[in-house]
Chain A
């Protein structure tokens, strides 16, 4: 009895494992016909020149702010070039550069220019790169839609509110005619490029900010926070304001309101910031990467505004394209 039962069990365990293996092989079979691949670390150059057109893998990682742009371009590019794989990661600007330095990515998304330390590390690693500006983002300072007293604010007032150890607690501390109500402050957490840019431009030093505000890495949480508090103030990327314009009100900065035109021509200053991608020069020797970059900066530029960012002017895109030689 026991012996019979035991072989049954072991057999079942083994067949269980075999079923798993078989399922995976089948899955592999299904997708194998779809496209050819090259492994992440060492792209197989030989596979590039197929009769069907371009193939290969272009690996992108970095800023979550730039992610929607690369995502959209990747989608449209791979629609017309089905044999090219363009996976996009989400590691943040700094995390993306770490992978770029390790030679693991072809393109690094960045919501700020590369830092000197990162550039040095790339130099040490023997990786040459080209910086391409792809879009602008307007950091938007928002208040609740029911806020009927504030329509504009100056950079000095923002600095007063957000400075480290700021004494500003009430709206009336900012301007005497505003109500004596407590300001609820919402902003991104310290990991984001948005946070770094805002603090650098407003308080004058990257990372310097009062600590008694509500931080979140998830911009949707900030939207909810400001939308639910009549006396709240927050800041985040223009795309999140645009999608929630019914619940929020954007403040003009020094009299200029955040709009596509003002962000594009830079008059929405200082909170209009450029977004970048960094391309590895050795990857540009592969024709699928060249085709991808070409698409990114020509036909692909319409996608930038579709996903809530502000495109460069045609002349600027031409300048960026020329950098690729």
Chain B
């Protein structure tokens, strides 16, 4: 009894230390979270306070000009939509196809392992390297010129590794019971893939697609290298048209000596952010839609 009483202060002390440590941990993690949030808020407020008053219908529907007040973002906005649309058309079928091969057809031999390692490594290659590849392959060898098609093919190459890795992971996580059940009722492999595996994995594949496309929207360097223009006063007419995109327009305006251009740079960044939020929003909407569709059984 006496002993216990003597130990009590020590135990209380111990408890205090542990509680302090707990509190410190809490604080550290909170600071970590706040840090990125605060940076984001600072960035957004400076952007909004500078750019918002320039963001109007005229800004969205005008061509760029040497005078900031008359400048607009239209060719860059339309160019970005074209580029991302075409990139999606090229990269999605190829990416999902490759993922299906890797997960469902490719045997676990040395060749296929080599392919997998290569794809994972390609995801880490700097984007400028894809620009160099695109310039020599699509612009010059294939003769597509400095066109949206060249840009979209280059962007597709750039995002394919991300897409394939994401899609493979989604396909791999399809429960074996579903696949075996499908075979048990006599489905062929193709039927199993298109009717069972793909629908199950689709929401997660979609997430991968969106992440990949978001990356493509923000890319500047490879597009400058393949010859996207910096000053364009017309809209693209077909996939072989010359073009510019939002990040390039932002880059050009930010480099101008006049302060008035730095303000419309902020407005252009807001437009780019809105486009990204819209695409991400679409992705979340679609994913939720398909995920609830899977609930019933």
- Footprint of B on A, CB under 8 Å? 1-3, 5-10, 12-13, 17, 20-21, 23-24, 27-28, 30-32, 34-35, 37, 39-41, 57, 59, 61, 64, 67-68, 70-72, 74-75, 78, 85-91, 99, 102, 104, 218-220, 223, 237, 239-240, 242-244, 303, 306-308
Contacts and interface: CB of A to CB of B under 8 A. Distances in A.
B78 interface: yes
Interface stretch (B15-23, B33-41, B46-54, B85-93): B85-93
Contacts of A244: 257
25 contacts: A2-B297, A9-B199, A9-B293, A24-B85, A31-B78, A31-B234, A37-B237, A39-B240, A40-B146, A40-B147, A40-B242, A41-B145, A67-B231, A74-B231, A86-B233, A87-B234, A87-B244, A88-B230, A91-B227, A99-B227, A239-B257, A240-B257, A242-B257, A243-B259, A307-B66
B198 A6 contact: yes
Interface in B104-160: 139-140, 143, 145-147
The listed residue with most B CB atoms (<10 A of its CB), out of A21, A90, A244, A303, is A90
A218 B194 contact: no
A289 to B, nearest CB: 16
The listed residue with most B CB atoms (<10 A of its CB), out of A24, A104, A223, A242, is A24
B196 A2 contact: yes
Given A27-B78, A75-B65, A75-B233, 13 more contacts: A3-B195, A7-B195, A10-B194, A28-B237, A31-B234, A37-B237, A41-B143, A41-B145, A70-B231, A71-B66, A89-B228, A104-B227, A240-B257
B242 A5 contact: no
Given A6-B196, A90-B224, A104-B146, A72 B240 contact: no
Interface in B154-193: none
Nearest to A103: B140
Given A9-B198, A243-B259, A74 B233 contact: yes
A219 B145 contact: no
Contacts of B236: 27-28, 31
A78 B293 contact: no
Contact of A24 (B86, B233, B259): B86
A8 B81 CA distance: 27
A223 B259 CA distance: 12
> 3 shortest A-B CB distances, which residue pairs?
A31-B235, A40-B145, A90-B230
A78 B230 contact: no
Contacts of B89: 17, 20-21
The listed residue with most B CB atoms (<10 A of its CB), out of A5, A27, A87, is A87
Contacts of A303: 66
B199 A5 contact: yes
Contacts of B55: none
Interface of B: 65-66, 78, 81-82, 85-86, 88-89, 92, 139-140, 143, 145-147, 194-196, 198-199, 202, 224, 227-238, 240-242, 244, 248, 252, 254-259, 262, 286, 290, 293-294, 296-297
Please classify the interface of chain A as helix (H, G, I), strand (E, B), loop, or mixed, using the class held by over half of its residues: helix
Contacts of B229: 61, 87-90
B146 A5 contact: no
B147 A91 contact: no
B224 A91 contact: yes
A67 B258 CA distance: 14
Contacts of B228: 89
Contacts of B198: 6, 9-10
A89 B89 CA distance: 27
Nearest to B143: A41
A78 B255 CA distance: 24
The listed residue with most B CB atoms (<10 A of its CB), out of A10, A17, A20, A91, is A20
A88 B242 CA distance: 10
Contacts of B224: 89-91
Contact of B232 (A7, A9, A87): A87
Contacts of A223: 257
B195 A6 contact: yes
Contact of A87 (B81, B140, B196, B231): B231
Contacts of B86: 24
A85 B82 contact: no
A1 B259 contact: no
A27 B74 CA distance: 12
B202 A104 contact: no
Contacts of A67: 230-231, 252
B199 A6 contact: yes
Contacts of A2: 195-196, 199, 297
Contact of B88 (A8, A20, A41): A20
A24 B241 contact: no
Contacts of A24: 81-82, 85-86
Contacts of B199: 2, 5-6, 8-10
A220 B254 contact: yes
Contacts of B82: 24, 27
Contact of A35 (B78, B88, B234): B234
Contacts of B256: 68
Contacts of A90: 224, 229-230, 248, 252
